[in-house]
Each structure stands twice: as C-alpha cells, then as structure tokens.
Chains A and B, each alone.
Chain A
Amino acid sequence: SAVISQKPSRDICQRGTSLTIQCQVDSQVTMMFWYRQQPGQSLTLIATANQGSEATYESGFVIDKFPISRPNLTFSTLTVSNMSPEDSSIYLCSVGRGGTPDTQYFGPGTRLTVL
C-alpha cells in the first residue's frame, strides 16, 4: 500500500476564509481522489484529481468552491474556498492502485472546523 500524508491534520478557520489541504504520496500514482466526510456521515467523493488536466467533479461540487491542483503524480491540493460552518468536515485524499479506482488507500485526513 502507498504511504500518504496530508497537511494540515486539523485546522479551525473563520467563515469566509479559504484553506488549502495538501496530499503527498510516496510513489507515483495515476488516480487520486478527494472525499468529504461530514459529521456522522459517510464518505462522499468530491472529485478525481487528474494529473495535467482539470479535476473531474461529482454532482453537487464545483471548481469555484473546491479548486484542485495535481501538478505531478505524487502530489495534489484541495482548497476549500469562502468557507462556511457547513464546510466543517473531515477531508480525505485517497489513491487508487492497480490501474482501477477500486482498491483505494486513504490519507490520514484533515479535520476542518469553520466558526
């Protein structure tokens, strides 16, 4: 399995500000994903981060709110823009191995609280 790190591990932010979360993998991977887990809820896919092209967003998530960068095969960032208390969640990056999105390994997560 891949070794995945995320920064920051947690943050408390003010309404209206933005936070960028970094995800670093110890080896090159084709597929990287960003998820959100709201309190008491399961994981919801925000987008697939594509290297060298725009991310592919799921229904209900837009690039203006969650811009994603993927400059190379080991790194990605997710920005949560113009935050509101409803954005308080755990944000997780994951990587797919073996050429399919199925066997995904998750980073340690970022716990975001918006006041």
Chain B
Amino acid sequence: EDKVVQSPLSLVVHEGDTVTLNCSYEVTNFRSLLWYKQEKKAPTFLFMLTSSGIEKKSGRLSSILDKKELFSILNITATQTGDSAIYLCAVGGAQKLVFGQGTRLTINP
C-alpha cells in the first residue's frame, strides 16, 4: 500500500529560525512529490518535484527530492508568523495523490 510519512508532526519555533520538514514515501509508479501549505481549509500549492537533487526555491522556501532514498525536505529560512500552517507532502503515483499526515508548524513572535 502506498505510504507517505512526514516528520515531525508538530514543530514550534521562534520567528527568524530556520526549519526543515521531512517527507518519506513508499509509492508504486512514482511520478512526483508535491508540497502544500494549509492555513485554514484549502491547501495551497508550493512545489512539485520530479527529479532528484534539483532544488526548487521560492523566496524563503526551498525543497529538494532524493529519489534513491525516497524522501524530500522542505526548508523555510528566516521564519515569520505568517508561515504558521500545516505543511502537507503528497506523492503522485498510479493516477492519484497520496498525502502524508502533515506537519503543524507554529512560529512564535
């Protein structure tokens, strides 16, 4: 059965800190790995990764995929209170996305 596991499940840091969120997966017919940010109800798309070792970057957020070790990390530098959210990792395989449990990130001022 396809599985996506995120860690940690919860993280509390101070504004300005750097955080690393982890996502490991076991999925047949892997196509891509995606990161989403969920603040209220709707997840918003952050990154899609398909190739190993190529970093994707958007402002203070960056992500990289390791297809050999079957994991990805999402880095957020110089965190701000607006980064507080649940971060979801999803893996595309066999015509659907499989989501991890999410990491609840709290940034304290």
> Which residues on A are within 8 Å of B, measured CB to CB?
1, 33, 41-45, 48, 58, 90, 92, 100-109, 111
A90 to B42, CA, bound (A): 9
Q: B-side binding surface: helix, strand, loop or mixed?
A: strand
Q: Return the contact of B101 from the options A42, A102, A104 (Cβ within 8 A).
A: A42
Using a Cβ–Cβ cut-off of 8 Å, how many residues does chain B contribute to the interface with A? 21
- Decide if A102 touches B92 in the complex (CB within 8 Å): yes
Instruction: Report if B11 contacts A (CB, 8 A).
Output: no
Tell me the smallest distance from the CB of B73 to a CB of chain A, in Å: 18
A45 CB contacts on chain B under 8 angstroms:
96-97
Contact of A102 among B40, B48, B100 (CB under 8 A): B48
Which residues of B does A touch, CB under 8 Å?
31-32, 34, 36, 40-45, 48, 88, 90, 92, 95-97, 99-102
A107 contact set on B, CB distance < 8 A: 42
